[in-house]
Amino acid sequence: MRWNIRTRFLSFLAQQGTLIQRSCPHTSQQNGRAERKHRHILDSVRAQLLSASCSEKFWGEAALTSVYVINRLPSQVIYNVSPFEQLYGTSPSYSNLKVFGCACFVLLHSHEHTKLEPRARLCCFLGYGTEHKVLIHTLRFHLLIYPAPNTTPCPPLTSELTQYHTTSAPPDLPSVSCEEPAPAPVRRSTREASINPLWQQAMNEELQALEKTHTWDYVNFPPGKKPIGCYSQEYDIDYEETFAPIARMTSVRSLLAIAAAKQWPLLQMDVKNAFLNGTLSEEVYMKPSPGTTPPPQKVCLLRRALYSLKQAPRPWFATFSSTIIQLGFTSSSHDSALFTRQTSRGIVLLLLYVDDMIITDDDPHAISDLQCYLGKHFEMKDLGILNYFLGLEISSSPSGYFLSQAKYAFDLLRRSVIIDSVTFSTPLDPNVRLTPFDGVPLDDPTLYRQLVGSLIYLTVTRPHIAYAVHIVSQFMVAPHTIHFIVVLRILRYIKGTLVHGLSSPLNPHWFSLDSLMLIGRAILLIDDLPLVIVSIWVMLLSSGEARNNLLFPVPAQSLNIVL
């Protein structure tokens, strides 16, 4: 028998006549089979302790749990039979397997609580017993909640969830935000910001832009008027209409698909101080801004659409729209922020989102002329090839364009403070049916609403989570703990698929009339006479959708571009 340096059992082995071979110090390879099994168990122990954020003092329970699970898993060494079945001759049951370190509530007996005390005790699952059996109806497991082992007994579930989201990771555990530096603190006041030289430079540049565009006139304060800040505007006095069109995300995806199919370049430009190009139609008086030197007893009569005015986006869009139309562009009837121009050599597409724009065309000369024209009317910044737009990451390759929101998803996970390594292969459990009365109401639903709102924007490049996000968004008014657990599951699915996105291949051969399927017709009848016949065609994305085509949603938004 090969043995390590320890002298335990040596006398017993000598009495049995066993020949002992001692291994060399720090040479585990000489006892490879046993040491390899130890490594297998310890790897599982570390993973369980880190995942549940448990203290190292529970390594023994984690080791017993690892051995319990390993003995019930099929092994290639014994021809895909589990050690349990090899020993007892029957297949093991997996119905009682739970996540190590998860929360479980134990139902208390009537003599263990008073009338006003909780009926259950919060516990932490630390393994499987071999001597006693527990009635399952006295236990409730929450596999996504990992309570700290040193928490006091019987806390309410809402406080446990709050602690789960506000407690920082232990210093020896890797955090989800360790790969990127923490964001710079936000300056809360002008005095605090003025201390930083970079902020001083930015404020000076902004003041220069205000003077360059003649944003206001210094006038005497008229009687009966009141100088305002942008936060105190009143409707029909300081502003009227405020709506300004912006590009739809469906238009962004459509533009990328067209550029990929036609192999067109995608360029990005930015308008500096865009709102200052809009002319106000209302009479607005403002107190002089800090950092300026106005004449005594004078106020500012605004001429330009200053930032933070409620109506500022509207005059800017009107100015840009009228300017670009003079060059021969026309606004799309389906998206007012999409402008097209037909030339003798092709078509130019321009998509505007506030002050950011995407330009694509099959003619480089037309794009160059457009850039020169915009530079004469506005102060432009050429950002080159499109790679980042409104949180969307666009990467180009010889095979096409790839659209993702990896950084946005990473920032979302960092805000949710998910520090464990648990991931899921699906965003939603098909066996879960949520109702407005599940669980306990959250004390503060702010985090729930923020996470769901961010998930809604994440569906731009992840349409496969749209149904799961639709489910949790139904409980925004009064979310409960169970609803929050489902949101955490969606986030853990995103954590496991962080770099997933949409691909727009070059020359997509799948886009053909053979891939379209007619699913229905609508006939408009007036006085029993057929007036209009509308056919609805949809794109079949898989053979499964061919069998379920009647459930395919008709697009709520469309985009017509004649190429």
pLDDT in tens, 234-289: 555 555 666 777 888 888 888 888 888 888 888 999 988 888 888 887 777 877 77
pLDDT at 455 over 50: yes
Quick one: 353 and 285 in the same domain?
yes
DSSP annotation string for 98-115: --TT-EEEEEPPGGGS-S
Of 469, 486, 505, the residue that ends a domain is: 505
Q: Cα torsion at 37, 42, 48, 51 (round to 10°)?
A: -130
Instruction: Tell me if 190 is assigned to some domain.
Output: no
Over residues 346-374, the pLDDT tens digits come to: 888 999 988 889 999 888 888 888 989 99
Of 341, 364, 390, the residue that ends a domain is: 390
Quick one: 413 and 385 in the same domain?
no
Strands lying side by side in the sheet with 298-302: 216-220, 298-302, 285-286
Instruction: Tell me if 335 is assigned to some domain.
Output: yes
Quick one: 437 and 359 in the same domain?
no
Quick one: 145 and 234 in the same domain?
no
Of 339, 367, 390, the residue that ends a domain is: 390
Quick one: 460 and 547 in the same domain?
no
| Residue 150 CB partners (closer than 8 Å, separation 6+) | 55
Average pLDDT over residues 146-168: 42
Instruction: Tell me if 164 is assigned to some domain.
Output: no
Quick one: 528 and 435 in the same domain?
no
pLDDT at 557 over 70: no
Q: In percent, how much of the chain has pLDDT > 90?
A: 14
Over residues 518-554, the pLDDT tens digits come to: 445 454 444 444 444 444 445 555 544 443 443 334 4
Quick one: 421 and 381 in the same domain?
no
By residue range, what is the domain housing residue 532? 513-551
Quick one: 231 and 329 in the same domain?
yes
Looking at residue 2, its pLDDT comes to 65
Instruction: Tell me if 534 is assigned to some domain.
Output: yes
Quick one: 286 and 207 in the same domain?
yes
Quick one: 64 and 34 in the same domain?
yes
Quick one: 410 and 372 in the same domain?
no
pTM greater than 0.85 (yes/no):
no
Average pLDDT over residues 435-443: 86
Number of H helices and number of E strands within the chain? 15, 20
DSSP annotation string for 341-361: EE-SS-EEEEEEETTEEEEEE
Instruction: Tell me if 170 is assigned to some domain.
Output: no
Instruction: Tell me if 396 is assigned to some domain.
Output: no
Instruction: Tell me if 38 is assigned to some domain.
Output: yes
Quick one: 235 and 320 in the same domain?
yes
In whole angstroms, what is the distance from residue 13 CA to residue 20 CA? 8
Looking at residue 165, its pLDDT comes to 39
Q: Specify whether the CB–CB gap between 343 and 366 falls below 8 A.
A: yes
Cross-strand pairs, 349? 340, 360
pLDDT at 1 over 60: yes
| Residue 107 CB partners (closer than 8 Å, separation 6+) | 119, 120, 137, 138, 139, 140
Instruction: Tell me if 178 is assigned to some domain.
Output: no
**How many domains in the chain?**
4
- Cα distances (Å, whole numbers) of residue 132 to 128, 129, 135, 142: 9, 6, 10, 22
